[in-house]
């Protein structure tokens, strides 16, 4: 009886070893189910967030809070699938403040590239004698030539 039992145990052991029941698993092939992604820019709560794999930018935005009012989403694909350690930057819409030649203060005029205190004062003196009718009239002010006008023409208005 003992021999028969031992014989069956040996056969069962042999069957299990022949069918590779205990195959080793390569852990390099296993992928984690979570990932870390950073978001910054025009978002309420910038920072690093842990998301599930194959999450999209829209999921990240929902987790990090609403977009700010000045967020520029024209270049963002909300369906883009994120990867581990991605960085998402939400750009801001920057409004260009134009400087009025006929009403700007001396300090405001000095914010223009190439305009210092003396040229700013000359602009104020010029407009007190006659107001600017066109942007090109600023070239009549001493010290402002074609090169300086080209640098500031998209930053000034009447």
Contact 53, 34 (CB under 8 A): yes
pLDDT value of residue 20: 60
Cβ atoms 139, 102 nearer than 8 A: no
**Tell me, what DSSP letter sits at residue 19?**
T
34-90 adopts what CATH topology? Ubiquitin-like (UB roll) (3.10.20)
**16/38: higher pLDDT:** 38
- C-beta pairs of 19-28 under 8 Å, 24+ apart in sequence: none
pTM over 0.95: no
Residue 107: predicted pLDDT? 82
Say how far apart CA 39 and CA 83 lie, in whole Å. Answer: 13
For 152, list phi and psi in degrees, rounded to 5.
Answer: -110, -5
pLDDT given for residue 23 in this prediction: 67
For 65-85, the pLDDT digits (tens) are 888 888 888 888 899 999 999
What span, in angstroms and rounded, lies between the C-alpha atoms of 124 and 4? 115
User: Are 34-90 and 99-157 the same fold in CATH?
Assistant: no
Segment among 4-8, 12-16, 154-158 with least mean pLDDT: 12-16
Q: What is the fold, at CATH topology level, of the domain defined by 99-157?
A: DNA polymerase; domain 1 (1.10.150)
CB 157 within 8 A of CB 101: yes
| pLDDT reported for residue 40 | 92
Question: Is the per-residue pLDDT at 18 higher than 70?
Answer: no
Q: Write down the pLDDT at residue 49.
A: 93
Confidence of residue 87 (pLDDT cuts 50, 70, 90): very high
Cα(35)–Cα(143) distance, rounded to whole angstroms? 58
pLDDT digits (tens, 9 = 90+) for 95-105: 777 878 778 88
Domain chopping of the chain, boundaries: 34-90, 99-157
44 vs 155: CA distance, rounded Å: 30
Do residues 128 and 119 touch, judged by C-beta distance below 8 A? no
């Amino acid at each position: 009886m003992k021999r028969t039992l031992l014989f069956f145990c040996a056969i069962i052991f042999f069957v299990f070893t022949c069918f590779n029941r205990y195959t080793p698993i390569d852990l390099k092939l296993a992928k984690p189910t979570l990932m870390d992604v950073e978001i910054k820019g025009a978002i309420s709560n910038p920072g690093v967030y842990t998301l599930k794999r194959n999450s999209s930018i829209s999921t990240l935005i929902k987790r990090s809070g609403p977009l700010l009012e000045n967020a520029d989403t024209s270049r963002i694909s909300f369906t883009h699938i994120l990867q581990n350690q991605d960085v998402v930057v939400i750009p801001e819409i920057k409004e260009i403040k134009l400087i009025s030649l006929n009403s700007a203060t001396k300090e405001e005029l000095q914010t223009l590239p190439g305009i210092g205190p003396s040229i700013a004062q000359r602009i104020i003196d010029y407009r007190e004698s006659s107001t600017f009718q066109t942007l090109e009239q600023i070239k009549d002010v001493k010290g402002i030539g074609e090169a300086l006008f080209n640098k500031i023409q998209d930053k000034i208005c009447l």
